Amino acid sequence: MASTEFQSPYVPNTYPDRRAMLDAIGVDSIEELFADIPDGYLNYDLDMPSARNELDLTRYARELAAMNRTPGDYACFLGAGSYRHHIPAVVRQVAGRSEYMTAYTPYQPEVSQGTLQTAFEFQSLICQLTGMDVANLGMYDGSTSLAEAALMASRITRRHRAAVVESVSPLYREVLNTYVQAPGIDIDTIPASADSIPDETACVIVQQPNFFGYMEDVDRLAKLAHDAGALLIVSVDPVSLGMFRPPGEYGADIVVGEGQALGVPTTFGGPYVGLFACKQDYIRQMPGRIVGRTVDTRGEEAYVLTLQTREQHIRRERATSNICTAVALIALMSTIYLASFGRRGLRHVAELCYHKSHYAASKIEEIPGYSVPMDGTFFQEFVMKCPSSPSEINEKLLDYGIIGGADISAQVSNGMLVCVTEMNSRDEIDNLVTALTEIGGAS
Amino acid sequence: MTSLLERAALDRRKLLMDRSRSGRIGTTLPPLDVPEAQLPEPSLLRDDLDLPEVSEGEIVRYFSQISQFNFSIDHNFYPLGSCTMKYNPKLNDEIASIPGFAQIHPLQPVATVQGAVKLVWELQEVLNEITGMAGCSLAPMAGADGELAGLLMARAYHLDRGDDKRKNVLIPDSAHGTNPASAAMAGFNVVTLPSDSNGNTDLDALRDSVSDELAGLMITLPSTLGLFDTNILDVTRIVRDAGGIVYGDGANLNAIVGRVKFGDLGFDVIHSNLHKTFTQPHGGGGPGAGPVIAGPRLVDYLPTPVAGRKTDNGEETFSLDAPSNTIGRMGAFHGNFGALVRAWSYIFTLGKEGIPQISEDAVINANYILSELKGYYDLPYDRTCMHEVVFAATNLRREHGVRAMDVAKRLIDYGIHPPTMYFPLVVEEALMIEPTETESKETLDYFIDVMKQIAAEAAADPEMLHEAPHNTPNTRLDEARAARRPDLRWRRQE
């Protein structure tokens, strides 16, 4: 019997409590309750460390954290799908309220109106931001939103090809490949300048701004898709929508994107929230959780999970998706973020990113050996061509207290994707320029 | 007076856009400190951005007020079967918010995030040990995402062996709805497998269902009936002998953690809902984390990345690797790291002494409720249960016209969150109760007294139960209307 004198701080029952309960149950020992486990398979001999108290574990966690070089301590120019923006204190404070943080999925609406009403707010604000008719309560992340959108387009059009513009994030395209392998959707990679797509294409998928930070000619792609009977799926950076035209204006059918940029820390890649919005007509094919407004038996307005007949707990193998989580807490953070900045504030954030990144690009262009090879309008990220391997340059930049941009030499030879947001002060940008100048092309 | 009271109630529910007043703002940023660049041509820009304009204090008061309309684990007991709503230690949240974890970027060179990758590696190792499996990927972002990963791994395994006929996945009739949905997403046909009269897998039906078209079996152990399948060794052997993969849904891992290992029982792949057994605030519906953990047959197919460790003269280095036959990526980055940190914190706080206590106390608590409520509610499977007990309100329906839903809603009046209702589907009027190990005997005694009282109320005043709950901001909602006339977002009143 494993019963030791150990008393976990998370378990209230003591040995006398357990004894009293076993007596009430009518068994002599705990083993009797595990009697259904086949003989010889009970095994409590775990090869793992002994319990650590709060003080010791915190010390150890801080040691591990100290092994990481932390943006904030370092100037950081990384983006490529995860963005550092200022998060107002109110976001963490309010979303951290235990009434939100430790609540269950709102299947019992009478005791979940807080969660449900904030979910309705999220759906509303995402519609305002994207210019779309309806939004769900979020997917796991931006990449899975994109993959689910492709599956949804295939259900709607009953077609089994997806045309993906080659400037969509390579990581997102990898996730798309994982998701479409079993349903048998063929992926065609097309240039943004394509003037035709294969027959029977369900959707054209474009990222705006694209993986390299630049604006695509989405009007042309919308026409290309719609003329061929395909849907246009646009993956957006929501902060860019603070200043750039929303997808609803250029005919997007489904809009997806990474919601992390709206008030969520980068946290080494997750948890994030995948945005998902579409036209009204497609609502019953939309995956994920949706909250609707209705009335109670007294006629008072209230909110409830709705359209659940699409969902796995009713339709099982015919469900629109297996998704059973909504990342509701992260959606709440984004809601508070959007409310904090509001109509003018988000525009301000976007413009800061725009001007600062352009300032950085103009300074980098002046450094001998470096260049900004792509033309066109960019938002907050741009490609810098380095005189030598970007990973070597990044290693040297660490000595200057700088975490450089993403190494995209797989896409652009000696390419580095540089991201500049409002988090990067002029000093940081100038220091980057100085450091790059000093590092030069030496390897 | 009444009108002002009504106004207060209405104002509290007023949406952000209706609170908006032109000119207000909730936060500000530093001014631009570089020269302005030329803006793009106007056709690329938007001229409207209709977002609310509210001050910071208004935001705080609004969200704080409506937060009071929620139940939460910090305030209420949640005996929710198969959802495992247990207390979420505060230490976990503190550790996850250390800047060296919360602020790091997923694309930093791996040499600059050694501590984070070491943490991931430690969590992988301990999950392998607890479940008796060979390898683990922490990439899946929820239980259902882990299911999809595991099934895609099974698919890739069969295809690699040229076994392209293997299209059928057996799923018990008591399974979670995500199981059939995940199997369908992974391209399989779902074949439903019945339970026998004791709630175990029906072995005859299983033998009849296996063939060279069998891709695998997906089973929750213990089952959603709260029962440990006493046929499990036969089940896994029959499936494996037929060339199938055995998938274990780890939703009920809480019942057996530190007691019995899936790997020892013949499972090839499982997922663990870290947010359940190893605590993660449920957040009103996410985020979670659903690592997929594989035995020798499937370990090379795990989704990328998997953390690796090399030691050289006592110097450790950690890496993020792609397994040799990986099914690919489940998400853009490395999974829900913030959730992984919390699970890591929970597991290492409990350690080898505390982990077996999870299942011990969870099982004692559930059996205590079983023994105390037996006779008050029907018990479809009168056996020792594991971490959850499934009662049926069929006696109340038959005698008083009171349904499981009414019992559930009445519990709200007593400050208790309803149990899982009408699930598993194989039990009529099911009330599936899972107390978890973090509830005290006193809390259980209160719950037991309340459940007995509700049974008495059903006899005395069934109408009162039909109308429950009585003390919530809203009475029962018109869910049919919500679905028939979808109203899914704020719109400006014309």
ipTM score of the complex? 0.97
Q: B70 phi and psi, to 5 degrees?
A: -100, 145
Average pLDDT of the residues of chain A? 95
pLDDT tens digits, one per residue of A408-426 = 999 999 999 999 999 999 9
Tell me if A337 sits within 8 A of A263, measured CB to CB.
yes
Confidence of residue A311 (pLDDT cuts 50, 70, 90): confident
Confidence of residue A1 (pLDDT cuts 50, 70, 90): very low
pLDDT tens digits, one per residue of A71-128 = 999 999 999 999 999 999 999 999 999 999 999 999 999 999 999 999 999 999 999 9
Residue in chain B nearest A304 by alpha carbon: B479
Residues 385-424 of B with CB under 8 A from A: 386, 408-409, 412, 417-418, 423
Of A18, A296, A307, the CB nearest to B486: A307
Integer Cα distance of B119 and B113 in angstroms: 10
Give the least confident one: A37-46, A250-259, A280-289, B139-148.
Answer: A37-46
Inter-chain residue contact A25 with B34, CB threshold 8 Å: no
Question: What pLDDT is attached to residue B423?
Answer: 87
Contacts of A182 in chain B (CB under 8 A): 152, 155, 185-188
Chain B nearest-CA distance from A439, in A, is 18
Confidence of residue A442 (pLDDT cuts 50, 70, 90): low
- pLDDT over 70 at A214, yes or no: yes
Give the least confident one: A302-311, A343-352, A387-396, B184-193.
Answer: A302-311
Share above pLDDT 70 across residues of chain A, in percent, rounded to a whole number: 98
**Three-class SS of residue B3?**
helix
Inter-chain residue contact B286 with A322, CB threshold 8 Å: no
Question: What pLDDT is attached to residue A4?
Answer: 54
Whether chain A has a CB inside 8 Å of the CB on B15: the answer is yes
Inter-chain residue contact B144 with A183, CB threshold 8 Å: no
Three-state secondary structure readout of chain A: CCCCCCCCCCCCCCHHHHHHHHHHHCCCCHHHHHCCCCCCCCCCCCCCCCCCCHHHHHHHHHHHHHCECCECCEEECCCCCCCCCCCCHHHHHHHCCHHHHCCCCCCCHHHEHHHHHHHHHHHHHHHHHHCCCEECCCECCHHHHHHHHHHHHHHHHCCCEEEEECCCCHHHHHHHHHHHCCCCCEEEEECCCCCCCCCCEEEEEEEECCCCCECCCHHHHHHHHHHCCCEEEEEECHHHHHCECCHHHHCCCEEEEEHHHCCCCCHHHCCCCEEEEECHHHHHHCCCCCEEEEEECCCCEEEEECCHHHCHHHHHHHCCCCCCCCCHHHHHHHHHHHHHHHHHHHHHHHHHHHHHHHHHHHHHHCCCCCECCCCCCECCEEEEECCCCHHHHHHHHHHCCEECCEECCCCCCCEEEEECCCCCCHHHHHHHHHHHHHHCCCC
Question: What pLDDT is attached to residue A321?
Answer: 85
Confidence of residue A326 (pLDDT cuts 50, 70, 90): confident
- pLDDT over 60 at A165, yes or no: yes
Whether chain A has a CB inside 8 Å of the CB on B71: the answer is yes
Low-confidence residues of chain B: pLDDT under 50: none
Question: What pLDDT is attached to residue B425?
Answer: 87
pLDDT tens digits, one per residue of A351-374 = 999 999 999 999 999 999 999 999
Question: What pLDDT is attached to residue A2?
Answer: 43
Residue B366, CB-side half-sphere exposure with 13 Å CA sphere: 35
Q: Would the pTM count as exceeding 0.90?
A: yes
Inter-chain residue contact A67 with B37, CB threshold 8 Å: no
pLDDT tens digits, one per residue of A26-68 = 999 999 999 999 999 997 789 999 999 999 999 999 999 999 9
Confidence of residue A320 (pLDDT cuts 50, 70, 90): confident
Contacts of B13 in chain A (CB under 8 A): 117, 301
Average of per-residue pLDDT across A383-403: 97
Whether chain A has a CB inside 8 Å of the CB on B172: the answer is no
In a mutational test of the B interface, the residue from A23, A52, A102 whose CB has the highest number of chain B CBs within 10 Å is: A102
pLDDT tens digits, one per residue of A171-196 = 999 999 999 999 999 999 999 999 99
In a mutational test of the B interface, the residue from A140, A290, A362, A363 whose CB has the highest number of chain B CBs within 10 Å is: A140
Q: A71 phi and psi, to 5 degrees?
A: -55, 140
Inter-chain residue contact A178 with B328, CB threshold 8 Å: yes
